[in-house]
């Protein structure tokens, strides 16, 4: 199914709407599915839901008094992290995964392509109860995962890898998931993932950056062969995008903004890169009990039933993309003036430093 077109509005209009109060959000959503027939009793903007979207937790009441909880994910045009919001594609993907596969995802209820209500297109889905690991401060430093016994940390890690492998074992063609690929960059695969970001270095604010230029050149020169037909990619595959149940197994894989088509190594490389960034990348140590990256790669090959491609390549690819994204995030943070004057922003600097170290390893400079 082709995703519907998404409408955009001028930045001055979306900025005003983005600043709406909770009651204004409720008024905007009233009458929109699935809230027609329900009474909205509360809206909340959580503080730890990533950078790429406006997120609202909405509580509503059925006519019989039963309470329901939803998540609204909107993409205001002037504060978007990615070149295209792709809300409609996310909605259709979650709809298919929820109805036709065993991948744990939230049930979706509505996709609104218009930007008039919340400043950008949005989707509505169930709020899945459970716990989500923090990114800042890192789960390696504090939080509920740090409080688990080591054997439970390992159990959570392997359960996450099994759920991710379930995504990668899907037959994307049979499910009709061609729309998940980015709209530019050539045929689906590793090269498309690379070139999609390469085409938007100016949008991310890093055109001509020497570290990213070197990384892009190395990635193009060392592009590996595809291991098989392109499969579905989660995109932002990491512990912080999983809702965990009491049994420490994934109750839902969330945040599919970066979805695409390509080899599973793209997701695995990102997963390992983000785990490294949230430990080594911020000057910390990995939690004891979490399986090592080599052990993880070996097990993941077993889950896929095939040898893995060169993971150092896919980790550099992850580092290239992450450095671009963190650059865009910092520009948005500075523009919004949400940090006190004089407070240094180190997210992008840390991301680029980790990419520099990875380039040194793969080029033999370290």
Q: In whole angstroms, what is the distance from residue 57 CA to residue 134 CA? A: 18
* Residue 344: predicted pLDDT: 66
| Segment 187-196, tens digit of pLDDT | 999 999 999 9
| Residues 90/256, Cβ–Cβ less than 8 Å | yes
Asked if residue 132 belongs to a domain, the reply is no
Q: Write the CB contacts of 177 (distance below 8 Å, at least 6 apart in sequence).
A: 93, 96, 170, 232, 261
Whole-angstrom Cα distance, residue 108 to residue 98? 8
Assess if residue 145 is contained within a domain: no
**Is residue 232 in a domain?**
yes
Q: In this structure, are 269 and 341 located in the same domain?
A: yes
- Has residue 341 been placed in a domain? yes
Is residue 165 domain-shared with residue 282, that is, in the same domain? yes
Instruction: Report which secondary-structure segment, H or E, holds 61.
Output: strand 54-61
pLDDT score at 6: 31
Residue 329 forms part of a structural domain: yes
Query: Are residues 293 and 203 located together in one domain of the fold?
Result: yes
**25 & 98 share domain:** yes
Residues 209 and 310 both lie in one domain: yes
86, 120: one domain: yes
In a domain, 4, yes or no: no
Domain with residue 41: its CATH number is: 3.30.200.20
Clarify whether residues 119 and 154 are in a common domain.
Answer: no
Are 205 and 305 contained in the same domain? yes
pLDDT of 156: 98
Overall number of domains in the chain: 2
Asked whether residue 23 falls in the same domain as residue 69, the answer is yes
pLDDT at 15: 37
Q: State whether 158 and 88 are in the same domain.
A: no
Per residue in 243-299, pLDDT (tens digit) is 999 999 999 999 999 999 999 999 999 999 999 999 999 999 999 999 999 999 999
Q: Identify the domain containing residue 335 by its residue range.
A: 150-362
Residue 362 has pLDDT above 80, yes or no: yes
Tell me how far CA of residue 82 lies from CA of 37, 41, 76, 86, 322, in angstroms. 34, 32, 11, 9, 11
pLDDT digits (tens, 9 = 90+) for 339-350: 777 666 799 999
Contact 340, 290 (CB under 8 A): no
CATH number for the domain spanning 158: value is: 3.90.1200.10
Name residue, tokens 């709407």.
17
Of 345, 296, 284, give the one whose Cα is nearest residue 142: 284
- Are 330 and 282 within 8 A, CB to CB? no
Does residue 277 form part of some domain?
yes
Q: What is the pLDDT of residues 68-125, one digit of tens each?
A: 999 999 988 888 899 988 999 999 999 999 999 999 999 999 999 999 999 899 999 9
Same domain? 242 vs 102? no
Give the residue from 126, 161, 188 where a domain finishes. Answer: 126
Q: Please check whether residue 36 lies inside any domain of the structure.
A: yes
Do residues 64 and 165 share a domain?
A: no
- pTM for the full predicted model: 0.91
Phi (first) and psi of residue 101, to 5 degrees:
-140, 175
State both tokens at 282.
């911020």
């Amino acid at each position: 199914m082709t995703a519907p077109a998404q409408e955009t509005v001028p930045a001055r209009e979306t900025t005003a709407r983005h600043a709406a109060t909770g009651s204004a959000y409720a008024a905007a959503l009233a009458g929109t599915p699935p809230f027609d027939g329900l009474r909205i009793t509360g809206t909340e903007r959580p503080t730890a839901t990533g950078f790429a979207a406006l997120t609202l937790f909405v509580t509503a009441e059925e006519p019989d008094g039963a309470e329901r909880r939803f998540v609204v994910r909107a993409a205001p045009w002037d504060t978007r992290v990615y070149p295209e919001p792709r809300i409609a594609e996310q909605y259709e993907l979650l709809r298919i995964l929820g109805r036709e596969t065993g991948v744990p995802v939230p049930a979706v209820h509505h996709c609104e392509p218009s930007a008039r209500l919340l400043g950008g297109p949005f989707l509505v889905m169930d709020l899945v109860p459970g716990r989500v690991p923090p990114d800042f401060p890192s789960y390696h430093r504090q939080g509920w995962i740090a409080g688990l016994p080591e054997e439970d940390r390992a159990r959570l890690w392997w359960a996450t890898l099994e759920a991710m492998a379930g995504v990668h074992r899907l037959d994307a063609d049979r499910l009709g998931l061609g729309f998940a690929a980015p709209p530019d960059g050539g045929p689906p695969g590793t090269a498309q993932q690379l070139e999609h970001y390469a085409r938007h270095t100016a949008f991310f604010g890093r055109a001509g950056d020497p570290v990213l230029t070197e990384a892009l050149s190395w990635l193009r020169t060392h592009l590996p062969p595809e291991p098989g037909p392109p499969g579905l990619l989660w995109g932002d595959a990491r512990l912080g995008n999983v809702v965990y149940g009491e049994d420490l197994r994934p109750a839902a894989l969330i945040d599919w903004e970066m979805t695409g088509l390509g080899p599973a190594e793209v997701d695995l490389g990102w997963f390992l890169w983000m785990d490294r960034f949230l430990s080594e990348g911020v000057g910390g140590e990995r939690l004891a009990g979490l399986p090592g990256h080599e052990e993880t790669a070996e097990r993941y090959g077993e889950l896929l039933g095939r040898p893995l491609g060169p993971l150092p390549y896919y980790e550099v690819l992850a580092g290239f993309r992450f450095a671009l994204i963190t650059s865009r995030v910092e520009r948005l943070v500075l523009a919004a003036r949400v940090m006190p004057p004089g407070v240094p922003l180190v997210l992008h600097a840390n991301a680029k430093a980790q990419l520099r170290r990875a380039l040194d390893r793969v080029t033999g400079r370290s």
